[in-house]
Amino acid sequence: MNWFLGLDNSTQSLSSLLISLHTGEVFARYSVDFDTDLPGYDLVQGVLPGPTALVKHSDPLAWVSALELLFQRMVDDGVDMGRIKAISGSAQQHGTVYLKKSFSELDSADVKTPSLVPVIKDMLSRRTSPIWMDSSTTAECHEIANETGGYGYVQRKTGSVPVERFSGPQIRKFYKEEPEKYEKTSKIHLVSSFMASLLTFRDAPIDYGDGAGMNLMDIEKGQWVPDILEATAPGLREKLPQLSGSGRKVGRISEYFIRNFGFSEDTDVVSWSGDNNNSLIGVGGWSPETVVVSLGTSDTCFSAMSQPHVDPAGYGHVFGNPAGGYMGLSCFKNGSLAREKVKEAHELSWDQFDELILEKTCAGNEKNMMLPFFVPEITPAVLDAQPVYRGSDEFVGGRDPAAAVRAVVEAQALSMRYHSSWLRNATSVLRVTGGASRSLGMCRVLADVFQVSVERLEVENSAALGAAMRAAQACGMEEWRSLTEKFCHVSAEEIIEPVTENARAYEHMLPQFVELLAETLDTSQRG
């Protein structure tokens, strides 16, 4: 009758769910919204105000506060925390946390404060954490490539070319701009390993899946790459945690959480991983037959891989699959951020947004197209955050609500299809997860653009579910296939089939979209 807890520390919230292997039930869903539930941290959509649009940091103390608030809400609702056998978690990838002393120097028995926030604040060598949305390290990407074997070399070794949001370039920028604080830094954690360390009061390892998103780890060997470490910052190896597999138990939960929230002293903490890695498990996509689209703050398209082939265009990434092997992923920063911009510009509800797709517009959008670059994009690389429009006079500038809504959704689906072809997965099924997967209109467009069946899962938070499933698997309770059959349900009502006429419209539209994209990128590069 043991329970397994999955946590998801995303850009805008910390959420949880529990699973019971005995009943196959998913329950105890809780969430802490960083903006509304933690107003003292001054976060906007989980992000601190920055000096430029390229700089995106968050406050790691907000994550500590959120964890304690979430556990307290569970306790207040009568959840028996002592029945939780193991915990694992998911976290936004690439973000880094900088500590002047390690967790191993803490003794949880000595922490008598009602909150860990002041304890962790005293440990930070850098007050804020750069996150995946940060695009301010272009110079550092060039420097790392130039000091090693070039962009192709870094991609072959780490699975990705040097990327602005990745941890390595972010660490290099910190070293260059604040060398004294870098020197005082004892440990540099990813968000995932930081949260696992917080639960155990010991320095948790970085798992291979999330470590692959740093531009520092050899994707095939699961080891740090010495020359890339040296090109990033001096003495970096000593500041990084160990690397480990995703199924490793990193320790028992600390006495602090036992005393304050009623956990059992036997509760295990399993390595945390990245949000996309966990979502791969949470949608049952751990084998290469399934392609997954996650519609969240960013949109991602990913699938398991048997071999780690890289994206020749340089935009896609190879990470570790928590179930073993690899996963390929393409990430699009203008996900829900772009959809929300269009929704807010026309003062729509989400129901109205969906209605405009399903009932007021048709496939192809009467040749109206948009490149929804409301924030700097990463696939493809666009630093100038400005939407691009092509179409009728009534549409250009996004003045027509119905056309604007369909344009942003079609552009996102077409871009996913175009930029995910390198994954090489022949599939007749697309599994869709994330908050926007509840939109029938979006799923309809995805089915028609990809020309495959779209399956929506009954559990929306696939990252937290994947973390809970990983906790159970690490404890030897069940294998991946049986866990998938038990928790990754797809009902017949949640399957959207492509419409042949719509699919033909998108086959005609795709080359026009690619042409507009090429023209825009060429203009941007000349500028």
What is the rounded CA–CA span in Å between residue 246 and residue 480? 13
Residue 112's pLDDT band (cuts 50, 70, 90)? confident
> What is the average pLDDT across 55-66?
98
What is the rounded CA–CA span in Å between residue 335 and residue 189? 26
pLDDT at 527: 39
383 lies in some domain: yes
In which element (H, E) is residue 512 found? Answer: helix 500-526
> What is the average pLDDT across 458-473?
91
pLDDT for 306 beyond 90: no
Residue whose entry in the numeric block shows the structure tokens 């630093």: 383
> What is the average pLDDT across 469-490?
92
252 lies in some domain: yes
477 lies in some domain: no
Do 305 and 438 lie in a common domain?
yes
Report the amino acid identity of residue 273. S
pLDDT for 302 beyond 60: yes
pLDDT at 25: 92
Residue 18: how many CA atoms within 13 Å on its side-chain side?
20
Do 215 and 295 lie in a common domain?
no
**3-class DSSP string for 419-477:** HCHHHCCCCCEEEEECHHHHCHHHHHHHHHHHCCEEEECCCCCHHHHHHHHHHHHHCCC
pLDDT for 372 beyond 80: yes
Report the SS3 class of residue 183: helix
Q: Which residue, 9, 127, 112, is CA-closest to 66?
A: 9
pLDDT at 355: 96
Q: Are 320 and 326 in contact (CB under 8 A)?
A: yes
pLDDT at 108: 61
Query: Which tokens in the block code for residue 157?
Result: 């070794």
Do 244 and 296 lie in a common domain?
no
Residue 524's pLDDT band (cuts 50, 70, 90)? low
464 lies in some domain: no
pLDDT for 525 beyond 70: no
Residue 501's pLDDT band (cuts 50, 70, 90)? very high
Say which DSSP state 311 is in. Answer: P
pLDDT digit string (tens) for 325-362?
999 999 999 999 899 999 999 999 999 999 999 999 99
What is the rounded CA–CA span in Å between residue 144 and residue 146? 6
**Other C-beta atoms lying within 10 Å of the C-beta of residue 103:** 26
Q: Which residue, 482, 478, 484, is CA-closest to 457?
A: 484
CATH number where 365 lies:
3.30.420.40
pLDDT for 383 beyond 60: yes
pLDDT at 477: 84
Say which DSSP state 124 is in. Answer: B
Per cent of the chain over pLDDT 90 is 83
What is the rounded CA–CA span in Å between residue 430 and residue 404? 25
pLDDT at 447: 97
- Of 254, 276, 298, the position where a domain reaches its end is 276
pLDDT digit string (tens) for 143-201?
999 999 999 999 999 999 999 999 999 999 999 999 999 999 999 999 999 999 999 99
Q: What angle do CA 276, 282, 288 make, to 5 degrees?
A: 75
Do 196 and 292 lie in a common domain?
no
Residue whose entry in the numeric block shows the structure tokens 């990245």: 274
Query: Which tokens in the block code for residue 267?
Result: 């509760």
> What is the average pLDDT across 398-421?
95
Radius of gyration of the chain (CA): 22
What is the rounded CA–CA span in Å between residue 247 and residue 127? 31
Do 24 and 155 lie in a common domain?
yes
pLDDT at 196: 98
Residue 2's pLDDT band (cuts 50, 70, 90)? confident
Q: Which residue, 86, 18, 192, 91, is CA-closest to 474?
A: 86
pLDDT for 374 beyond 70: yes
Q: Please count the structural domains in the chain.
A: 2
pTM, full prediction: 0.88
What is the rounded CA–CA span in Å between residue 284 and residue 245? 19
pLDDT at 491: 76
pLDDT at 102: 87
pLDDT at 200: 95
242 lies in some domain: yes
pLDDT at 104: 82
Q: Which residue, 11, 77, 74, 76, is CA-closest to 48?
A: 11
Residue 110's pLDDT band (cuts 50, 70, 90)? low
Query: Which tokens in the block code for residue 399?
Result: 């003045």
Do 302 and 451 lie in a common domain?
yes
What is the rounded CA–CA span in Å between residue 336 and residue 294? 11
Do 251 and 379 lie in a common domain?
no
Do 31 and 94 lie in a common domain?
yes
Q: Give the residue numbers spanning the domain of 75.
A: 3-276
pLDDT at 118: 94
Residue 39: how many CA atoms within 13 Å on its side-chain side?
1
15 lies in some domain: yes
β-bridge mates for residue 456, sequence order? 432
pLDDT at 17: 96
Do 165 and 288 lie in a common domain?
no
488 lies in some domain: no
